[in-house]
Structure 1
Amino acid sequence: MKESLLFSSVISFFFLSSGESMEMEERVSERQAEVLAEFERRKRARQITVSTDDVEVKACLRALGEPITLFGEGPAERRERSGLCKLWKVPDCTLVRTLRGHNTNVGAISFHPQATLTLEESDVNMASCAVDGSVKLWSLDSDEPVADIEGHSMRVARVAWHPSGRFLGTTCYDNSWRLWDLEVQEEILHQEGHSKGVHDLHFHPDGSLAGTGGLDAFARVWDLRTGRCIMFLEGHHKEIYSINFSPNGFHLATGSGDNTCKVWDLRQRRCMYTIPAHENLVSSVKFQPNDGHFLLTGAYDNIAKVWTHPGWSPLKTLAGHEGKVMGLDLSPDGQLIATCSYDRTFKLWMAE
């Protein structure tokens, strides 16, 4: 009897100890997982470039909507927190659609100014062009283009919507750029001034100006009311492949074959920042459409990157194309990013 009771006690103690041990191991495993996750977050945060200037770090935290200083926090801790905040603010992106229609390499893609996440509600949502001179209009409730714009006999490098949504600008390797009235699908303006092919075009937010970047390594700003070039920007060492106005109206970004992106201040007529953006030529630059605090770049190294101001430090890399990234754009609400490539595909990326 005593032996039986002793055996039962031993068995009970064994199962009780085993259960407590298992619970303890689970708690330890959860704690280890949390520590490893935190370690990985801090490791990723250290890979994000953060300014060593404490004033710029505070400005970055303010732009991210975070307190610029916590109680007892010094410059080093603040800099580390800035990197973590940037990491938390960067959205993941998911591919949602691949479209095909051009017969040759796609050169550029551009969202209509009124395009939103409810893209199927509009007849025309995007325009694209290719190296064979073709220009196509797209509606995203169809996998096929809805219209073609005909008239170019040489390579069309870029397409750009006027803020009104009625006009479309195109650039051509015949050293000119053109403006089209889509209501009648006719050319209404033909501008010349670059000594080599015009690769990119972008309109000022108020619609009064146009900026062009050429293979002659110069950027020009045009007054659409007079048709005259009113500003000449010099500084890149190689061809300019992309140009984009900031929503604030006085900053302008250019991407070049010298692998850099430059941000210009039109009020001072000078370059403010030179960003060593990619390992190959920068084919496309775009400011965030809402406030211009973020800048996107695409390049011939097959990737696109997201940069943040102040300091224009890297935030996110979009990798997935099998060929050179030729162009990119953001939807007006900032929820979609479109990229196009030499692999003859468009990719649409959505913030989760």
Structure 2
Amino acid sequence: MSDDDDIQYIKRQRTLHYGSLEETERKRQNAATASATTAAPAPASSSGSGAGREGGGGGATTTAGGNTGGQLEDIDSDEDYEEASKKGTASGKSGGKPGISAKPPTALPTAASLANKIDDDYFDLETEMERDKVALLEEFERKKRARQINVSTDDAEIKNNLRQLNEPICFFGEGPAERRRRLKELLANLGENAINRGRGAEDTEERKVQSRDQEQATWYHEGPDTLRIARLWLADYSLPRARDRLERAREALEVPSAARAGRMVEMQKKLQSLAPLCSQVGDTRPVSSAAFSADSSLLLTASWSGLCKLWSVPDCELKQTLRGHASYVGGVALRPGVHADEENVVAMASGGHDGAVKLWGFNNEESIADITGHMPHRVSKVAFHPSGRFLATACYDSSWRLWDLEQKTEVLHQEGHAKPVHCLSYQSDGSVLCTGGLDAFGRVWDLRTGRCIMFLEGHLGAVFGVDFSPNGFHIATGSQDNTCKIWDLRRRQPVYTIPAHTNLISDVKYQQECGSFLVTCSYDSTTKIWSNKTWQPLKTLQGHDNKVISVDISPNAQYIATTSFDRTFKLWSPDS
């Protein structure tokens, strides 16, 4: 019998142990202890001439017995055990042959060492069963909740509920009954209040949108008593004037069409004969603004040097120089109802780049009063109310202000533009005022209530000029987009757009008597006249060497004044 027959190779299977881990470990330790106790060393062979089988066997047994009390070699797997057994067998065979020295045999693993290498994978059967039980109970509870949930039988409402839950409202091949069942299952998982929560989120979003709209809307606050007094006075002043204006409009409708056509032809001939009556060097720097007096006998100009000058019309002789501004002056105005022989009475107003507004009187080079509420923002335009009691100022702090000269206080500080307010104009009745800003929008304000009654939206650039027609409902605006738009206050929309110039329009003015024509000036160095009804060009006034900044028409419609960057102002009049 060979050594190979003595050793049987057994490959142990990897097993999973069920039950407690402590119990398995205890059994393993007891088995290892019992194996170590029962193992006894085999007696060594004393015969030196024994067969190779006995020598080999004895050597293997002695080695194994000698290693029993020591540390066993670690074996990583069953394959390592087979390799170790083969090595031990080979050593036994070589040890029995004469003349060959036998190598010390390799120790064979015992039951204790094999017990130490058994995988200790642990499977907690009770925990897994508990998990399955919990999942099964949850499924039963979910189905119970689904049966108790009341869902509408209206298919449209079911689809709406699915849409609120961000779920598909219909699957392929799904009918109303399956859709209703699917909604029940969704509500059983998400809760019956899932739809209400979705509606609450939608309501919250709507409230956010409404709050944003309210933030962007025009808002009002309570004003002082002086404002209430001013508004009551404005209402008493404007209502009779509005009645008179409407009466004149009715009378104009009774005029025969032939007579109206004859007047229009005569007016067009007069305009086409316009020619420079006077060209005067106004200052050493650009002349920024010009305004006629109510009787068309005086012309007030302003320049970037800070000086304001009063000229006679039509000979353009210098009557008075107003000194006091520290920076260039942007806008000037003459107060209606004040005669040239009155002294110590506010007759003129001017606004500067430094925010200073000065009130002037005739025959006095120093200002009567200063308004400093705008500093340090630029005041671009000033305008007197038709009554002469109020002064409006356009400021570059994105607001405009109304000053009561009788109460000597500011009665209104109105915001509403997103960018600086550049220009403003009163209606002939004195009840409303229009402003234009660098935000490309215009606004019409009711002075009697403080409300914005019309929003002028349509320009693509800043609005630099605005003026009311004498009819009370047409508004002209000139913009940086080179166009002039005509707006109807009754319909609250634009009625015509005039592609007027090749550069930005710096100012626009209506004829004050009957509004039969409109004048625009531009940075293309020209001034153009347009008919009121057809908006056709009637005349182009060319003569300035540089950009034209402002224009004004005398109340008697006999003169047109223009100011320019070329430091001159020109007076235009029909040929006699």
User: If the TM-score is normalised by the length of the shorter chain, which range does it land in?
Assistant: 0.5 to 0.7
- Indicate the SS of the match to 1:298: strand
Q: What aligned pairs does 1:143-182 form with structure 2 within 5 A after superposition?
A: 147-153=369-375, 154-182=377-405
Q: Which moved more, 1:290-299 or 1:321-330?
A: 321-330
CA-CA distance at 1:290 after TM superposition: 0.6
SS at match of 2:262: helix
Choose from 474, 481, 484 the match for 1:258: 481
User: For residues 25-84 of structure 1, what are the alpha-carbon distances to aligned partners after superposition, in whole Å with 9 as ceiling and x for unaligned?
Assistant: xxxxxxxxxxxxxxxxxxxxxxxxxxxxxxxxx999534255xxxxxxxxxxxxxxx976
Cα distance change of structure 1 residues 203 and 136 upon mapping to structure 2, 3 Å threshold: same
Does 1:130 pair with 2:352? yes
Counterpart CA distance in 1 for 2:369 and 2:444 is: 30
Residue of structure 2 in register with 1:245 after alignment: 468
CA contact (8 A) 1:137 1:147 kept: yes
Change (3 A) 1:100 1:317: farther
Give the deviation of 1:219 after TM superposition. 1.0
Which residues of 2 match residues 18-57 of structure 1 at below 5 A?
Answer: none
SS of alignment partner, residue 62 of structure 1: helix
Following the alignment from structure 2 to structure 1, what is the Cα–Cα distance between the partners of residues 341 and 571? 17
Distance 1:107 1:59, change over 3 A: farther
Q: Are residue 111 (structure 1) and residue 334 (structure 2) matched?
A: yes
CA gap 1:237/1:320 in 2 versus in 1, 3 angstroms? same
1:64 paired residue among 259, 264, 272: 264
How many residues in Structure 1 have an aligned counterpart in Structure 2? 276
Q: Give the residue type in structure 2 aligned to 1:178.
A: R
Are the aligned partners of 2:465 and 2:477 in contact in 1 as well (CA < 8 Å)? yes
**Residue 267 (structure 1) shift:** 1.4
* Structure 2: distance between partners of 1:250 and 1:171: 22
Match of 2:423 in 1: 200
Q: Using the alignment, how far apart are the partners of 1:286 and 1:253 within structure 2?
A: 8
| 1:87 is aligned to 2:309 | no
Q: Deviations over 1:104-163 (max 9, x none)?
A: 443223333347xx7566755543323232333455656776554322110111111111
Secondary structure of 2:518's counterpart equals: strand
Query: How many Å apart are 1:181 and its aligned residue?
Result: 1.7
Task: Identify the structure with bigger relative contact order (alpha carbons < 8 Å, sequence gap 6+).
Answer: 1
The CA distance in 2 between the partners of 1:188 and 1:158, in whole Å, is 18
Structure 1: stretches of 5+ with no match in the other structure: 1-57, 67-81
Change (3 A) 1:300 1:185: farther
Paired amino acid for 2:272: L
Contact 2:354–2:379 (CA under 8 A) maintained in structure 1: yes
Cα RMSD over matched residues?
3.2
| Corresponding position of 1:188 | 411
CA distance 1:276–1:232, shift in 2 (3 Å): same
Output the CA distance in 2 between the equivalents of 1:269 and 1:140. Answer: 41
CA distance in 2, matches of 1:251, 1:186: 31
Measure, in 2, the Cα distance between the counterparts of 1:253 and 1:195. Answer: 21
Within a 5 Å distance, the mapping from 1:271-350 to structure 2 comes to 271-319=494-542, 323-342=546-565, 347=569, 349=571
Partners of 2:423 and 2:528 lie apart in 1 by: 19
Structure 1 residue 264: Cα displacement:
0.9
Cα distance in 1 between the residues matched to 2:519 and 2:341:
25
Q: Secondary structure at the match of 2:272?
A: helix
User: Counterparts of 2:360 and 2:572 in 1: how far apart (Å)?
Assistant: 18
Tell me, what secondary structure is at the counterpart of 1:272?
strand
Q: Distance in 2 between matches of 1:267 and 1:310?
A: 17
How big is each residue's C-alpha offset from its partner over 1:229-251, in whole Å with a ceiling of 9 and x where there is no partner?
A: 11112111111112111110010
Alpha-carbon spacing, 1:307–1:60, altered in 2? closer, same or farther (3 Å): farther
What SS is found at the alignment partner of 2:430?
Answer: coil
Q: Which moved more, 1:263-272 or 1:188-197?
A: 263-272
Aligned to 1:64, the other structure's residue is in SS state: helix
Larger Cα Rg: Structure 1 or Structure 2? Answer: 2
Q: Distance in 2 between matches of 1:105 and 1:305?
A: 27
Q: Deviations over 1:192-211 (max 9, x none)?
A: 01111111111111111111
Residues 91 and 342 (structure 1 numbering): CA distance in 2 closer, same or farther, change over 3 Å? closer
Q: Which has the higher strand share?
A: 1
Q: 1:63 to 1:267 in 2, by over 3 A?
A: farther
1:30 aligns with none
Contact 1:158 1:201 in 2 (8 A): yes
Structure-2 residue corresponding to 1:221:
444
CA distance in 2: counterparts of 1:132 and 1:106, whole angstroms: 9
Q: Is the contact between residue 268 and residue 538 of structure 2 (CA under 8 Å) also seen in structure 1?
A: no
**Bigger share in helix:** 2
Question: Which piece of structure 1 moves more, 248-257 or 98-107?
Answer: 98-107
Percent of aligned positions with the same letter in both sequences? Answer: 53
| Distance across 2 between alignment mates of 1:163 and 1:103 | 29
Change (3 A) 1:103 1:351: farther
Partners of 1:109 and 1:328 within 8 A in 2: no
Unaligned stretches of 5+ residues in structure 2: 1-257, 280-315
